[in-house]
Structure 1
Amino acid sequence: MTSISTATADWLALRAPADDAARSPELAHELGRMLAAVPGPVLLHDLGAGTGSMTRWLAPRLPGPQQWVLRDGDADIVEHLDLSAVTDAGRRSIDTQVVVEDLAALPSDAFHGAAAVTASALLDVITRAEAAHVVAACVAAGTPALFSLTVTGGVRVRAARRHPTGLRSSGLHSAALHPSGPDETIERAIAAAFNDHQRRDAEGRRMLGPDAVAVTAALFADAGWHVRRAPTPWRLRRSDRALVAAWLDGWVDAAVEQRPELTEDAEAYRRRRRAQADAAGLRVTVSHEDLLAWPG
């Protein structure tokens, strides 16, 4: 695996507010409860750290003092890390160390002495063998793991429709969702093609895609560990217009790359959705799941 990161710093910054709104505070609280008994500095490893979004969100929810090892295979993207303002639950600054390393090169004892392992938007872009390698390292160290924002394949897109101004006095909202009609057929085809693209064989690596949470949960369960899962969907609205536009383009482009025969219908769909977004906005739900695993 040449790099854990799969996106640019600009994309990670654009999606950060939606990510933070979606993550499971319940699973973070449960992890914090586990770490409360850890003596001394709490050592955590973040895999595929990118620009540090997981650390920024999670560190203030966990006890400290904290030491983070931020691991990523992309030397360029970790140049954008800035965690100087991040504190733990006790408002103490955190210590950080960056390790640039391919996931395949992760030592089997990498997590020795760690209190937890974390990752965000990682599992769906790795292979089953890589997931098994990470799970084995967690199990060997007895280290709980929290994996956030893994895509599960579900997408729902709806256009908002503005009612005539006169309806405001009746107590009805000024915008309501309406079915997409014919768009539902091409939407299903795009979604299926996108999910196949997520599972594609890329340079000899068949990624887990939407199967990632189930596969990883089974690997932990087979090791006798407890697993808890939580739905963590993006719920995007008109105020997320820039993210919706970028997500829509990426979603359609990946689908067309996987199934070129969809090109004409998919491009027409994209144009209609863009027009709807400009006129009244789109409401988009993109399904993700968080997973917490800990020793049995």
Structure 2
Amino acid sequence: MSVVIPVSADWLTLREPADAAARSHSLARRAARLVHPPAVVHDLGSGTGSMMRWLAPQLPAPQTWVLHDWNADLLAHAAAEPPASVSDVDSRVGHLEHLGADDLSGASLVVTSALLDVLSADEVEAIVAACVRAGAPALFALTVAGRVDIDPVDPGDRLFEAAFNDHQRRVAHGRRLLGPDAVAVAAELFRAAGWSVRTDASPWRLGGDPALVGEWLEGWLAAAVEERPALTEWADEYARTRAAQLAAGRLRVAVHHHDLLAWPA
């Protein structure tokens, strides 16, 4: 079964500033110390290239970025305007479950952003194994942690959070997704291979961009209701309440994530 993650360029563009603000700078600095120029960075599930635009200025130049994604249109968008420190971009259309060590040959660093939680344990194991065999350090950013904090607090918060987390761990096309368990699974796999691992919190803090908050809230509730249809009526009322708070400038959201850095010990 192919790993296909349906996302739009509009959504990825809307969330890019929040992604950039959330990712762990301390792990990025440590990753930069592991990379020696000329650097070759493989970006798995690269989307529109937001990880490249954020991380490349923090790494030593010159750099070549190899972008892996199943969506050729997103890859074209990503490769169109690379950062100044990137001398070359190689786009590869393909599905991640076919990734092997040969695909990462010569890699200085392997990165992902907002990817691990939509993969299965077998798929994460394959990515970790490919990194280990290639000897390439890995920086995996923005994996959901399973917790959302919303201000003002509402009685529905934890109920919809639990339903969303169950949706994240659902069986999709015969694949049991890892959801909030993904960082723990990846960390254990790297440690079992004898690698060093560090993790850091990388919370999305939403509130300054009403469009982003509204899109996130709609998707969060839709996933919760898909998992538990009995919540539909409550979700409608909850959405109206939150929309009024958002319009009044009173709604603040923290969506918790974890970043992970692993490297050969």
Shared fold (TM-score, shorter chain, > 0.5): yes
Q: Which residue of 1 aligns with 2:22?
A: 22
Tell me how far apart the structure 1 counterparts of residues 33 and 94 of structure 2 sit (CA, whole Å): 30
Q: TM-score, normalised by structure 1?
A: 0.87
**Alpha-carbon distance, 1:84 to partner:** 2.5
Percentage identity across paired residues of the two chains:
54
Q: 1:85 to 1:76 in 2, by over 3 A?
A: closer
Summarize deviations over 1:4-31 as a string: whole Å, max 9, x none: 5441100000000000000111111001
Summarize deviations over 1:76-120 as a string: whole Å, max 9, x none: 3223224525022xxxx4310000011111123221211110000
3-state DSSP of counterpart to 1:109: helix
Q: 1:269 to 1:248 in 2, by over 3 A?
A: same
Q: CA RMSD in A?
A: 1.3
1:108 equivalenced with 2:101 (yes/no): yes
Which stretches in structure 2 are left out of the alignment for 5+ residues? none
Q: Which residue of 1 aligns with 2:248?
A: 279
Summarize deviations over 1:139-163 as a string: whole Å, max 9, x none: 101110000001111101113xxxx
Summarize deviations over 1:230-252 as a string: whole Å, max 9, x none: 00001112x21110000000000
Matching of residues 149-188 of structure 1 within 5 Å = 149-159=142-152, 180=153, 183-184=154-155, 186-188=156-158
Q: Which residue of 2 aligns with 1:61?
A: 58
The worse-fitting range, judged by mean Cα deviation, of 1-10 and 199-208 is 1-10
Q: Which residue of 2 aligns with 1:213?
A: 183
3-state DSSP of counterpart to 2:103: coil
3-state DSSP of counterpart to 2:145: strand
Q: TM-score, normalised by structure 2?
A: 0.96
1:264 aligns with one of 233, 236, 253: 233
**Alpha-carbon distance, 1:135 to partner:** 0.4
Q: Which residue of 2 aligns with 1:137?
A: 130
3-state DSSP of counterpart to 1:275: helix
3-state DSSP of counterpart to 1:263: helix
Matching of residues 110-129 of structure 1 within 5 Å = 110-129=103-122
Q: Which residue of 2 aligns with 1:48?
A: 45
Q: Which residue of 1 aligns with 2:223?
A: 254
Tell me how far apart the structure 1 counterparts of residues 45 and 234 of structure 2 sit (CA, whole Å): 35
Which letter maps to 1:87?
Answer: A
**Alpha-carbon distance, 1:281 to partner:** 2.9
Tell me how far apart the structure 1 counterparts of residues 57 and 5 of structure 2 sit (CA, whole Å): 24
Which letter maps to 1:284?
Answer: V
Tell me how far apart the structure 2 counterparts of residues 120 and 85 of structure 1 sit (CA, whole Å): 17
Tell me how far apart the structure 1 counterparts of residues 164 and 264 of structure 2 sit (CA, whole Å): 35
**Alpha-carbon distance, 1:128 to partner:** 0.4
Q: Which residue of 2 aligns with 1:168?
A: none
Question: Across the two proteins, how many residue pairs are aligned to each other?
Answer: 265
Tell me how far apart the structure 2 counterparts of residues 209 and 6 of structure 1 sit (CA, whole Å): 16
Tell me how far apart the structure 1 counterparts of residues 33 and 230 of structure 2 sit (CA, whole Å): 51
Summarize deviations over 1:151-188 as a string: whole Å, max 9, x none: 111101113xxxxxxxxxxxxxxxxxxxx3xx22x211
